[in-house]
A and B are shown apart, each in its own frame.
Chain A
């Protein structure tokens, strides 16, 4: 989608005060559009969440669900909603928000639509650590989540260490990340082949990402961590438009670009690590959420808020599909996002090659 001209060409010699009103109008129109996108995507997510609460084998009606939400539900409805469906919806929202926003921070900061934490091995590091902790150390429950969180941080730190050279250049970071992602995938395959079938199927959720069977304590931990990271990202966000320019441009406008980029990457890694520790590496959400958001808001903007909401909406919708579209069995949500995301990745690479550029 190309940006529509939002200012009528001014006549020559138009008074500056009239022109400055036009400048303000162009800006506020962009802001309104971003706000509209966030509102519409939120409604979309809300609809998917509602459907997720209502649909299912238990045969609950709207009344049952509302009853539970106001504390008046039957024991059966109470169990289905409070133990199964609501945690699932909340997990989808938290994971989608973290992945979508983390992906937007990565792609804008590194100025490359391929540079998302799932392509660069950050979520893969979480998988590897989680699966390794289960299969090699026999850990389970929250300890596995903690291992996943640590795994994402370790891969990010490695990437940083290997890519650093008098500062951080985008393309070097991306190439190192893709290399690390391959190594991580190889190690993961090795772990799985030497595991028993039962263990391997338990490990599956940590390989493709899933939001079934997540308890309230994990949700609360992830929720608090996510709110803190969201707050920090909001405080940081005025720097994003400058980071999207070249390093020299950003610096000449008074931004310490190395430090700002480092901050954005650390925030992105934190968000993705929280999401992945909760729900595993739900495939491609980090890659596709931000480009969808940017296309809706209008290009040339980081579209952080929209990316977060679009990420949540994607996971909610994908989970509806994962649970109800395949008759007889439900699949982990990561399988569905993978089916959507893989063609997009191919398209992105094909388009990049045709244009002879990275994006």
Chain B
């Protein structure tokens, strides 16, 4: 496997809006290459919208997103998809589609106009099935799978794109704790082995602090803090962004900052 080429994904004065309602305003952001970035923030903070903007799923109202100093809108769709893979929130598979078929669709950006597949396609699909632990499910219908299995299959599809940057919108939502960890381990493995740049929106702050090299806290459509988890995840930042009184203490397993919420009945 060739290690990924260095890439610079960044947003400059990015403003994103739905029907004229601004969700992200004048945001600047640089995604560290070859690292894992987690985007966190309270509900309706604009974190998913930000990811959609980076993923070219939304046209900016103003400002721009660039990949290697080139506006991402100037890439041809397949050209962009070969560099950046995106896993949208709660994707839906058509009834009855098989795991192997769905994952094979990840190879689309590498195919020609008439959809001819190369001999590499089957090998790469097999590799990502193996890597995501879904090889045994290859012949099953996606709709028959459990939530955790299904999410791994979607990740396999995104990995089959063999893009250097992978963007994921809440990949762990609706998964129980053990499946959340399994999934984040899987992304970490892809990052460590292939140098894949991972950017994910996460709900669970402690997991974000543990798995991310770089943490971006979004609130009200702006970045309120960004940097290493140890520097960013302070009681002040969490209090300001999430309106949550908490104590931050080192995670006994990973040493990363761990948030312990206080609540109304346990104030000292």
Contacts of B44 in A (CB 8 A): none
Listed from nearest, the 5 A-B pairs whose CB atoms lie closest are A299-B96, A238-B115, A7-B139, A300-B97, A254-B81
Give the shortest distance, in Å, between A107 (CB) and chain B (any CB). Answer: 11
Task: Assess whether B56 is in contact with A238, with CB atoms less than 8 Å apart.
Answer: no
Chain A CB within 8 A of B244 CB: no
Contacts of B76 in A (CB 8 A): 254
Within 8 Å by CB of A6, from B56, B95, B98, lies B98
Within 8 Å by CB of A20, from B81, B98, B126, lies B126
Chain B CB within 8 A of A253 CB: yes
Chain B CB within 8 A of A8 CB: yes
Chain B CB within 8 A of A47 CB: no
Contacts of B96 in A (CB 8 A): 2-3, 298-300
Tally of B interface residues using CB under 8 Å: 54
Contacts of B105 in A (CB 8 A): 241-242, 245, 253
CB within 8 Å of A: which B106-129 residues: 106, 108-109, 111, 113-115, 122-123, 125-127, 129
Chain B CB within 8 A of A10 CB: yes
Q: Which residue of chain A has its CB nearest to the CB of B124?
A: A20
- Could you name 6 residue pairs across A and B whose Cβ atoms are closer than 8 Å? A2-B96, A245-B93, A251-B57, A252-B81, A255-B77, A298-B96
Chain B CB within 8 A of A196 CB: no
Task: Assess whether B57 is in contact with A16, with CB atoms less than 8 Å apart.
Answer: no
Q: Which residue of chain B has its CB nearest to the CB of A5?
A: B139
Chain A CB within 8 A of B85 CB: yes
Chain A CB within 8 A of B88 CB: yes
Looking at the complex, which of A21-29, A141-149, A208-216 is the stretch in contact with chain B?
A21-29
Contacts of A256 in B (CB 8 A): 77
Task: Assess whether B92 is in contact with A2, with CB atoms less than 8 Å apart.
Answer: no
Contacts of A301 in B (CB 8 A): 97
Question: Complex formed: what's the CA distance from A6 to B57 in Å?
Answer: 35
Task: Assess whether A248 is in contact with B91, with CB atoms less than 8 Å apart.
Answer: yes
Q: Which residue of chain B has its CB nearest to the CB of A298?
A: B96
Contacts of B126 in A (CB 8 A): 16-17, 19-20, 22-23
Question: Complex formed: what's the CA distance from A248 to B169 in Å?
Answer: 11
Within 8 Å by CB of A252, from B57, B140, B144, lies B57
Assuming A242-B105, A299-B97, what are 16 further A-B pairs, CB within 8 angstroms? A2-B96, A3-B98, A8-B139, A9-B137, A16-B127, A19-B129, A19-B135, A20-B123, A27-B104, A239-B115, A241-B101, A244-B94, A245-B92, A246-B91, A253-B105, A254-B82
Give the shortest distance, in Å, between B32 (CB) and chain A (any CB). Answer: 21
Give the shortest distance, in Å, between A203 (CB) and chain B (any CB). Answer: 40
Task: Assess whether A24 is in contact with B122, with CB atoms less than 8 Å apart.
Answer: yes
Within 8 Å by CB of A26, from B19, B77, B84, B101, lies B101
Task: Assess whether B98 is in contact with A300, with CB atoms less than 8 Å apart.
Answer: yes
Contacts of B114 in A (CB 8 A): 235, 238
Within 8 Å by CB of A248, from B88, B97, B104, B129, lies B88
Chain B CB within 8 A of A32 CB: no
Chain A CB within 8 A of B80 CB: yes
Chain A CB within 8 A of B184 CB: no
Give the shortest distance, in Å, between A246 (CB) and chain B (any CB). Answer: 5
CB within 8 Å of B: which A260-314 residues: 298-301
Question: Complex formed: what's the CA distance from A111 to B91 in Å?
Answer: 14
Chain B CB within 8 A of A351 CB: no
Contacts of B68 in A (CB 8 A): none
Task: Assess whether B91 is in contact with A23, with CB atoms less than 8 Å apart.
Answer: no
Within 8 Å by CB of B108, from A5, A17, A23, A254, lies A254
Question: Complex formed: what's the CA distance from A3 to B122 in Å?
Answer: 21
Question: Complex formed: what's the CA distance from A284 to B140 in Å?
Answer: 32
Chain A CB within 8 A of B55 CB: yes
Q: A6-B139, A23-B138, A300-B141 in contact; A254/B78 too (CB < 8 A)?
A: yes
Residue from B86, B91, B114, B139 whose CB has the most chain A CB atoms within 10 Å: B139
Task: Assess whether B100 is in contact with A7, with CB atoms less than 8 Å apart.
Answer: yes
Q: A23-B100, A26-B101, A238-B115 in contact; A252/B135 too (CB < 8 A)?
A: no
Chain B CB within 8 A of A30 CB: yes
Task: Assess whether B130 is in contact with A16, with CB atoms less than 8 Å apart.
Answer: yes
Chain B CB within 8 A of A353 CB: no
Task: Assess whether A10 is in contact with B86, with CB atoms less than 8 Å apart.
Answer: no
Task: Assess whether B138 is in contact with A252, with CB atoms less than 8 Å apart.
Answer: no
Q: A2-B141, A26-B138, A252-B88 in contact; A238/B100 too (CB < 8 A)?
A: no
